[in-house]
């Protein structure tokens, strides 16, 4: 097994042809000249623009005096620079991503075409740094309390964050990077969950408190792997009350959900449906695979005191139906006293939102 470098990027007039081209002959020059190893026929590319080469076992890139510049991770290259897996390269305005992957010696290397949708966000920067984050477990966790309708502590939701200065802190941006490579989104989710439980357990010092744990939809596609991770977590923290949150967008395979619920129950782990009502409200799953909690999405809750009667009636009906099945309902995103009052009047048992506390690094909400 050897390591092979690839360049990946969008080509074609419509920008939807994603090509992955091997870099296997060095030096490899990039430019508008079709006779070069890596021709990019675009008017803003110089005839001989830049050059890939190897030195001391590493891959390097050198600008060859191009008119419109060569950039590595948005920094203009002056001279030459060593490259890393995941670097995003720009030759003038043309964007490519550098990848390395293991391959067998007898593999036939050729350009590969992928069917892909246009990417508004283009190729994310930071894959090399993300791998370093995963390897070094450089994540942080914030904790947001979930309280009763009267403000008493019920539990905490664990909210993973990045822990490197050269990567985003927020989860949306971080998962955008992770989702660009197979398996990294699930790996990042697992790391954030494990690190969060360990930190919460250390802070609780034996106090009993429910922890609500997030999943990424990619994890639901490999339920056996998710259950192995949850089994390890239970073995590490045998007395810790835990709730696993499943995003409603992942609720498409009822037999798989049923099996997951059974296996979680055997571990003493409760299950919740998260972001209920965001997009398609999946009532069938509530009937077929009832859970302990349903978290009503903030899009239903925020501004509820100003909502027309029809909207409030619809939410009240959803709430009543859900509670009739013995499911505890959580109102997410409560920020105003007026929102809290409406949620109390409707019958929400549990509340989460900035009205009581933003996410914090400490589990310091008053117990009483």
The CATH class for the domain spanning 129-352 reads alpha beta
Question: What is the share, in percent, of the chain residues with pLDDT greater than 90?
Answer: 62
How large is the average pLDDT for residues 200-219? 95
Whether 106 has a pLDDT exceeding 80, the answer reads no
Task: Band the pLDDT of 114: cuts 50, 70, 90.
Answer: very low
What confidence score (pLDDT) does residue 1 get? 52
Task: Band the pLDDT of 126: cuts 50, 70, 90.
Answer: confident
Q: Which two tokens stand for residue 353?
A: 């939102």
The strand ranges marked E within 43-108 are: 50-55, 58-63, 70-72, 75-76, 80-82, 88-91, 94-103
Question: What is the share, in percent, of the chain residues with pLDDT greater than 70?
Answer: 87
Instruction: Please state, in angstroms and rounded to a whole number, the distance separating the CA atoms of residues 118 and 329.
Output: 39
Return the half-sphere exposure (C-beta side, CA atoms, 13 A cut-off) of residue 25. 9
Task: Band the pLDDT of 124: cuts 50, 70, 90.
Answer: low
Instruction: Please state, in angstroms and rounded to a whole number, the distance separating the CA atoms of residues 350 and 153.
Output: 9
Question: Which of 347, 275, 336 is closest to 306 using CA atoms?
Answer: 336
How large is the average pLDDT for residues 136-163? 97
Cβ neighbors of 297 (< 8 A, separation 6 or more) are 275, 276, 277, 278, 332, 333
Whether 139 has a pLDDT exceeding 50, the answer reads yes
Cβ neighbors of 295 (< 8 A, separation 6 or more) are 245, 272, 273, 274, 275, 276, 329, 330, 332, 352
How large is the average pLDDT for residues 306-314? 91
What confidence score (pLDDT) does residue 183 get? 87
What confidence score (pLDDT) does residue 117 get? 38
Instruction: For the domain made up of 2-123, give the CATH fold.
Output: Tumour Suppressor Smad4 (2.60.200)
Whether 110 has a pLDDT exceeding 80, the answer reads no
Task: Using alpha carbons, list the distances in angstroms from residue 279 to 17, 232, 262, 282, 352.
Answer: 30, 33, 27, 9, 20
- In the chain, where are the structural domains located? 2-123, 129-352
Q: What angle do CA 226, 230, 234 make, to 5 degrees?
A: 170
Return the half-sphere exposure (C-beta side, CA atoms, 13 A cut-off) of residue 54. 9
What confidence score (pLDDT) does residue 10 get? 66
- Residue scoring higher pLDDT (16 or 226): 226
> What strand order describes the sheet that includes 17-23?
75-76, 70-72, 88-91, 94-103, 2-11, 17-23, 112-115
Q: Could you give the 3-state DSSP secondary structure of residue 213?
A: strand
What confidence score (pLDDT) does residue 16 get? 52
Question: Which of 79, 32, 30 is closest to 51 using CA atoms?
Answer: 30
Q: What is the DSSP string of 232-282?
A: HHHHHSTT--EEEEEEGGGTT-HHHHHHHHHHHHHTTEEEEEEEETSSS--
What confidence score (pLDDT) does residue 120 get? 38
Task: Using alpha carbons, list the distances in angstroms from residue 89 to 32, 45, 50.
Answer: 16, 13, 11
Please tell me what DSSP assigns to residue 22.
E
- Which residue do the tokens 């994540």 mark? 139
How large is the average pLDDT for residues 238-243? 97
Per-residue model confidence as pLDDT tens digits over 43-95: 899 999 999 999 999 999 999 999 999 998 878 999 999 998 888 898 998 88
Mean pLDDT computed over every residue of the chain: 87
* Cβ(149)–Cβ(344) below 8 Å: yes
- Predicted TM-score (pTM) of the model is 0.76
Instruction: Please state, in angstroms and rounded to a whole number, the distance separating the CA atoms of residues 126 and 190.
Output: 19
How large is the average pLDDT for residues 318-342? 95
């Amino acid at each position: 097994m050897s390591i092979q470098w690839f360049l990946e990027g969008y080509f074609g007039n419509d920008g939807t042809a994603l090509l992955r081209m091997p870099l296997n002959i060095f030096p490899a020059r990039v430019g508008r000249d079709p006779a070069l190893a890596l021709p990019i026929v675009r008017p803003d590319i110089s005839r001989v623009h830049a050059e890939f080469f190897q030195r001391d076992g590493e891959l390097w890139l050198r600008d060859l005096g191009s008119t419109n510049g060569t950039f590595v991770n948005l920094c203009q290259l002056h001279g030459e620079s060593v490259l890393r897996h995941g670097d995003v390269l720009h030759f003038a305005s043309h964007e490519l991503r550098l990848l390395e992957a293991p391959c067998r010696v007898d593999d036939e290397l050729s350009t590969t075409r992928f069917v892909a949708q246009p990417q508004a966000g283009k190729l994310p920067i930071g894959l090399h740094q993300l791998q370093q984050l995963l390897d070094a477990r450089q994540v942080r966790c914030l904790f947001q309390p979930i309280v009763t309708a009267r403000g008493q502590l019920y539990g905490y939701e664990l909210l993973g964050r990045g822990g490197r200065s050269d990567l985003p802190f927020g989860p949306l941006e971080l998962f955008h990077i992770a989702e660009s490579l197979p398996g990294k989104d699930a790996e990042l989710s697992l790391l954030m969950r494990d690190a969060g439980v360990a930190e919460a357990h250390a802070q609780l010092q034996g106090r009993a408190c429910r922890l609500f744990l997030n999943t990424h939809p990619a994890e639901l596609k490999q339920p056996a792997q998710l259950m192995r991770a949850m089994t390890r977590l239970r073995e590490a923290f045998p007395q810790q009350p835990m709730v696993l949150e499943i995003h409603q967008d992942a609720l498409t395979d009822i037999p798989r959900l049923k099996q997951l619920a059974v296996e979680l129950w055997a571990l003493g782990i409760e299950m919740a449906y998260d972001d209920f009502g965001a997009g398609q409200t999946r009532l069938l799953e509530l009937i077929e695979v009832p859970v302990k909690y349903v978290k009503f999405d903030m899009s239903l809750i925020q501004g509820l005191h100003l909502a027309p009667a029809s909207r409030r009636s619809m939410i009240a009906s959803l709430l009543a139906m859900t509670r009739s099945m013995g499911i505890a309902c959580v109102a997410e995103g409560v920020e105003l006293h007026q929102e809290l009052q409406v949620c109390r009047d409707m019958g929400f048992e549990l509340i989460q939102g900035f009205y009581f506390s933003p996410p914090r690094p400490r589990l310091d909400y008053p117990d009483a």
